[in-house]
């Protein structure tokens, strides 16, 4: 009987290991946004509050680890390091629509001259999440992004 259980025990013992979650020790969350369709999140991290708007930031895709009705616990599965220290450039997480697509949440790097309009017009770079749960650059050419601060004086 023990011999029959040995292959099963070995098989279960050699299950594929889970990939380690990314840890950002010494960083704090600057801004975050839930992705409505999946319950996952996009979060921007920095070492200091000053660097949130102007410095070295980490863009993170966070996968929800629990069920939708359970307490929200997230694990970082992919990151991109971005430098935003150029004057007049800002980073935000906002809803954008690509040509023929549904609105989704994206990280958007834009020039400050776009901040007074309903849609961001001077977009420099955009990052989104692909089907493999990786952060990727999205072409800027046919994207339209909401300015979440529009009308807030």
Q: DSSP string spanning 13-66? A: HTPPPPPPPB--TT-EEEEEEE-TTTS-EEEEEESSHHHHHSSEEEEEEEEE-S
Collect the ranges in the chain with pLDDT lower than 70.
Answer: 1-21, 67-70, 113-116, 151-153
Residue 79 placed within a domain: yes
- Kindly state whether residue 84 falls inside one of the protein's structural domains: yes
pLDDT in tens, 6-32: 454 444 455 444 555 677 888 989 999
| pLDDT in the model for residue 20 | 54
- Does residue 13 lie within any of the structural domains? no
How confident is the model at residue 41, as a pLDDT?
A: 93
Instruction: Establish if 29 belongs to a structural domain.
Output: yes
Q: Indicate the SS3 state at residue 114.
A: helix
- Is 5 part of any domain? no
Boundaries of domain holding 51:
19-146
pLDDT recorded at residue 114 = 54
Q: Please tell me the total count of domains within the chain.
A: 1
């Amino acid at each position: 009987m023990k011999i029959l259980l040995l292959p099963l025990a070995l098989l279960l013992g050699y299950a594929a290991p889970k990939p380690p979650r990314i840890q950002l020790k010494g960083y704090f969350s600057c801004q975050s946004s839930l992705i409505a369709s999946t319950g996952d999140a996009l979060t921007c991290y920095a070492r200091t509050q000053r660097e949130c708007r102007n410095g070295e930031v980490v863009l993170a895709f966070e996968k929800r680890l629990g069920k939708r009705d359970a307490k929200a616990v997230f694990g970082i599965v992919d990151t991109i390091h971005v430098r935003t220290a150029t004057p007049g450039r800002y980073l935000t997480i906002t809803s954008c629509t690509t040509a023929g697509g549904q609105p989704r949440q994206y990280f958007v790097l834009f020039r400050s001259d776009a901040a007074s309009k309903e849609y961001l017009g001077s977009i420099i770079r955009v990052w989104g999440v692909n089907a493999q749960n990786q952060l990727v650059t999205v072409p800027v050419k046919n994207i339209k992004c909401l300015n979440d601060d529009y009308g807030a004086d």
